[in-house]
Amino acid sequence: MSEINALEELQSELTCPVCLELFREPVILECGHHFCRVCIAHCWEAKADEQPTCPKCRKSVTSKLRPNSLLCNVVDSVRRAHPGDTLTSPASVTGGGEDLEDPEEREAGSSMSSVASSNGFWPRMSADMCEEHEERLKLYCESDQLPICLVCGMSRDHKTHNVIPINEAFENYKDKLSVTLERVELQVGEASLFLQHTNDKIQHIKEQADDLEHQVSSEFDLLREFLREEEQRIKESLREKKEGKLDQLEKALTQATEQIGQLETRAEELRLKLQEEESPEQLKGFKDFIRGAESLFEPPLEGSVDLHSGDIMGPLQYSTWRKMHSVLQPAMTAVTLDPDTAYPRLCVSPCRSSVWVGDIQPNLPDNPERFTRYNIVLGYEAFSAGRHYWEVEVGSKTAWGLGVATASVNRKEVISLCPDDGFWTMGRRGDPPDGGDGVGEYEACTDAEECALHPPRAPRRVGVYLDYAGGQVSFYDAADMSHLFSFRGARFTEPVYPYFNPWPIMHGRNRQPLTIVTPSC
């Protein structure tokens, strides 16, 4: 092992930094570094228009080359003492043994031509050799991202570039690879987490859809069961009427049959009378006999033979729909206004179904339930369970608000009308931007930000749906029950009341009332 180390040390001392071979005609520069005469000349030829510099330390030197006879003698002595040994070829010291090329494939006059001719063979170009200068790649150009040799590093192509030793480049390369690997692994983790969350969402949507589908089926099963029962009830009524009519007619037939028998008997008696010989005795009681024969048949009462469709059909679908209210869940909820909560400028109708903006009403008590900063009035009915639905006529009003509010909302100070303050509301906020007869601006008051709504047409009647246990408040255009907006995930912990806001009169408009639709039973 010590001999190998000694050989490697000797190899390093007697090797040209450019061609990486044993020195040939070694020369020394002013900086003290040695090179083969051919190698240093070749380096300077590559940049003949620049000041000569040392390829190793980059210091400026003169072009005068001083031969180093002592070093030359040492190298020659080594060659003679070890002819054909490993010292004659650095590649053999580093584990070479590459295939040989034909000498004609190498450019004559290259930096390794003298070594090749003295050894009698041509080494194949290895992967760590510069193809242009046939020198070992010892530098790395960070600007071009290419490994280069010392000659390339001194050329004008790389003079202004950031050039570092290739070993340092390998260290940087591995460091950056490690950092990049960490980032990629982090991204893989993020992507895997996203994948998991997405799969969870997909599963949640499927489960939610299955649950909703089951609920829809249950709701329609109730309706179908009601319709089947109502159909059977009506058909049973029809059968009863039919049996009644038929029974009456059957009795009439029986009575008529009996009377026919009696009449035929009397007819036979009359025929026999006609065949008797005339005698005064025949005339006794003649009129009574004739009168009894003529008045014998009395037609039985038949009654009406028509099954009046009005009794069975009539507005069958409408009447069935009216009866269906008994099974609707929810059916239309009866809602009225609570005047004690109304803002002082609001007027509530005597039947407590309409509210509009008027003049401030004097002498109103400032009771705790009354709103004193906004045009708000609450419903009288409190809901703390179940599902409820009511409708409100908004007509042609240009601004209004509807929804629900919790019992503990602030009624005296500035509020946001959003869930954070105990309100779940939506409404219209004014005319269309162009001032025409368009849909106008609608919004739902959410906690995050105001949510603009864009219904296809301006609703004139709005339905409000509350599912207390399900934490849902939804709004619909009652004309076709098209969905406008839904609040979901609310956690109600106290009673909630219907919310009504007719908004102020603006530019002489918006005077129309908000009117609660009375359920028809």
| Model pLDDT for residues 381-416, shown as the tens digit of each residue | 999 999 999 999 999 999 999 999 999 999 999 888
Beta strands at 354-357 and 377-378: parallel, antiparallel or unpaired: unpaired
pLDDT of residue 122: 36
Sign of CA dihedral 123, 125, 127, 133: positive
Return the minimum-mean-pLDDT range out of 32-41, 298-307, 336-345. Answer: 298-307
d(Cα 417, Cα 426) in Å, to the nearest integer? 9
pLDDT of residue 7: 59
d(Cα 276, Cα 265) in Å, to the nearest integer? 17
Backbone angles phi, psi at 308, to 5 degrees: -65, 125
d(Cα 274, Cα 282) in Å, to the nearest integer? 10
**How many Cα atoms sit within 13 Å of 455 on the Cβ side?**
28
Cα dihedral 15/20/24/28 (nearest 10): -60
- With a CB cutoff of 8 Å and minimum separation 6, the contacts of 292 are 266
Residue 238: pLDDT over 90: no
Cα dihedral 178/182/187/188 (nearest 10): 90
pLDDT of residue 9: 67
d(Cα 338, Cα 256) in Å, to the nearest integer? 71
pLDDT of residue 292: 67
Residue 117: pLDDT over 80: no
Per-residue pLDDT band for 369 (boundaries 50, 70, 90) equals very high
Block residue for tokens 């008696």: 269
Q: What pTM value is reported for the model? A: 0.54
d(Cα 456, Cα 450) in Å, to the nearest integer? 19
pLDDT of residue 296: 62
Beta strands at 26-28 and 34-36: parallel, antiparallel or unpaired: antiparallel
d(Cα 344, Cα 355) in Å, to the nearest integer? 12
* 3-class secondary structure, 223: helix
Q: Considering just the CA atoms, what is the radius of gyration of the chain in Å?
A: 56
| Mean per-residue pLDDT, 336-356 | 95
The total number of residues shown for the chain amounts to 521
d(Cα 226, Cα 327) in Å, to the nearest integer? 7
Per-residue pLDDT band for 262 (boundaries 50, 70, 90) equals confident
d(Cα 127, Cα 41) in Å, to the nearest integer? 25
pLDDT of residue 207: 93
Backbone angles phi, psi at 448, to 5 degrees: -70, -55
pLDDT of residue 137: 87
Mean predicted lDDT score pLDDT of the chain: 81
d(Cα 265, Cα 248) in Å, to the nearest integer? 26
d(Cα 3, Cα 24) in Å, to the nearest integer? 25
Per-residue pLDDT band for 514 (boundaries 50, 70, 90) equals very high
Per-residue pLDDT band for 199 (boundaries 50, 70, 90) equals very high
d(Cα 120, Cα 460) in Å, to the nearest integer? 104
Per-residue pLDDT band for 88 (boundaries 50, 70, 90) equals very low
Q: Are 471 and 456 in contact (CB under 8 A)?
A: no
Q: Are 330 and 366 in contact (CB under 8 A)?
A: no
Residue 438: pLDDT over 60: no
Return the minimum-mean-pLDDT range out of 92-106, 268-282, 445-459, 463-477. Answer: 92-106
Q: Which of 360, 363, 356, 365 is nearest to 337 (CA)?
A: 356
Per-residue pLDDT band for 112 (boundaries 50, 70, 90) equals very low
**Per mean pLDDT, which of 3-7, 42-46, 106-110, 480-484 is the most reliable?**
480-484
Q: Are 399 and 500 in contact (CB under 8 A)?
A: no
pLDDT of residue 439: 57
pLDDT of residue 18: 86
pLDDT of residue 406: 96
pLDDT of residue 391: 95
Cα 24 to Cα 63, 74, 111, 306, distances in angstroms: 18, 11, 10, 135
**Which of 321-330 are b and which e, b meaning 16 or more Cβ less than 10 Å from the residue's Cβ?**
eeeeeeeeee
Q: What is the pLDDT of residues 141-196, one digit of tens each?
A: 989 999 998 888 878 888 788 888 888 888 988 998 999 999 999 999 999 999 99
Per-residue pLDDT band for 103 (boundaries 50, 70, 90) equals very low
pLDDT of residue 116: 36
Block residue for tokens 């070694």: 26
d(Cα 48, Cα 407) in Å, to the nearest integer? 94
pLDDT of residue 119: 38
Q: Which of 280, 331, 364 is nearest to 517 (CA)?
A: 331
d(Cα 380, Cα 461) in Å, to the nearest integer? 21
The number of beta carbons lying within 10 Å of the beta carbon of residue 61 is: 17
Give the pair of three-digit tokens for residue 137: 């790649």
Q: Which of 386, 407, 400, 403 is nearest to 485 (CA)?
A: 403
Percent of the chain with pLDDT over 90: 35
Residue 266: pLDDT over 90: no
What are the DSSP E strand ranges found in 19-81? 26-28, 34-36, 66-67
The more confident residue out of 430 and 503 is 503
pLDDT of residue 97: 38
The more confident residue out of 277 and 386 is 386
| Mean per-residue pLDDT, 284-303 | 68
**Per mean pLDDT, which of 34-43, 85-94, 164-173, 396-405 is the most reliable?**
396-405
Cα 190 to Cα 181, 184, 193, distances in angstroms: 14, 10, 5
* Helix H or strand E encompassing 164: strand 163-165
Beta bridge partners of 341: none
Q: Are 61 and 36 in contact (CB under 8 A)?
A: no
In whole angstroms, what separates CA 123 from the centre of its chain?
66
pLDDT of residue 5: 61
Residue 450: pLDDT over 80: no
